[in-house]
Amino acid sequence: MATILRSIYVSGTATLLATTWGIPTSYILTLKRRVGIVEAIIESLVGVPTVLLGLLLYLLLSSSGPLAPLGIRLLYTPQAIVLGEAILITPLMISTTYRVLKNTVVTYSELALSLGASKTQVMTLIIKESLPGVVASIIMSFSRALGELGIAMMVGGNISGYTRVMTTAIALGVARGDFEEAIVLGLVLLTIMVVISITLKLLNKVYSIG
């Protein structure tokens, strides 16, 4: 149970962290006219291999890394996993949120301005109309973080009672031949993913109707 709660806590914290810079970045990109290159870079980062990102973070956070002289010791801590997952899901969050905001801006902003709405009113309208899509983007990012293995294993170390999350516990269970625990955790993870998928479907339905 502790492993499950730790997984939700770590992935939830990573999602909140990514939201603090991902959503504002998406909105800023929406206001810009020429973002083709930036958009292409972000899209390419969505599919970055997690083991590569995990390796880079390991080198950054290790005792011989560039942050060591500053006294920063995050390797093999939950905070390292949070940081890694936040970085991992940021491109996904920016990409999906940008599409939602862009469609909303194109649909409503010019019409609202032509009807005499102020910029503040237009911004309020954009936020209101795009909210279901933005929430769906955040939930999707949380799902991505929750199912992540490479980063959690490399910078978390899979330490029992400290950095072990569901994905690393499943991998360890299979390696040890403890399939019962691995299957139970796998079913829990699958259940959470199904609930997230259903929630996304409902949000998309609300967004489409709205």
For residue 24, the Cα-to-chain-centroid distance in whole angstroms is 14
Residue 158 pLDDT greater than 60, yes or no: yes
pTM: 0.89
pLDDT-based confidence at residue 1 (cuts at 50, 70, 90): confident
Tally the domains of the chain. Answer: 1
In 3D space, the residue among 46, 71, 52, 51 whose CA is nearest the CA of residue 61 turns out to be 71
Strand intervals (E) in 2-158:
none
Q: Please state the rounded mean pLDDT for residues 172-180.
A: 93
CA-derived radius of gyration, the chain: 20
CATH number of the domain where residue 155 is located = 1.10.3720.10
Which token pair is 162? Answer: 């400290």
Which token pair is 147? Answer: 């199912």
Q: Which domain holds residue 30?
A: 2-209
Q: What percent of the chain has pLDDT over 70?
A: 92
Which token pair is 97? Answer: 């949120």
Q: How many residues does the chain have?
A: 210
- Cα–Cα distances in Å, from 149 out to 35, 53, 86, 153, 164? 32, 11, 14, 6, 11
- DSSP SS3 for 65: coil
pLDDT computed for residue 123 by the predictor: 74
Residue 207 pLDDT greater than 70, yes or no: no
Q: Please state the rounded mean pLDDT for residues 44-52.
A: 91
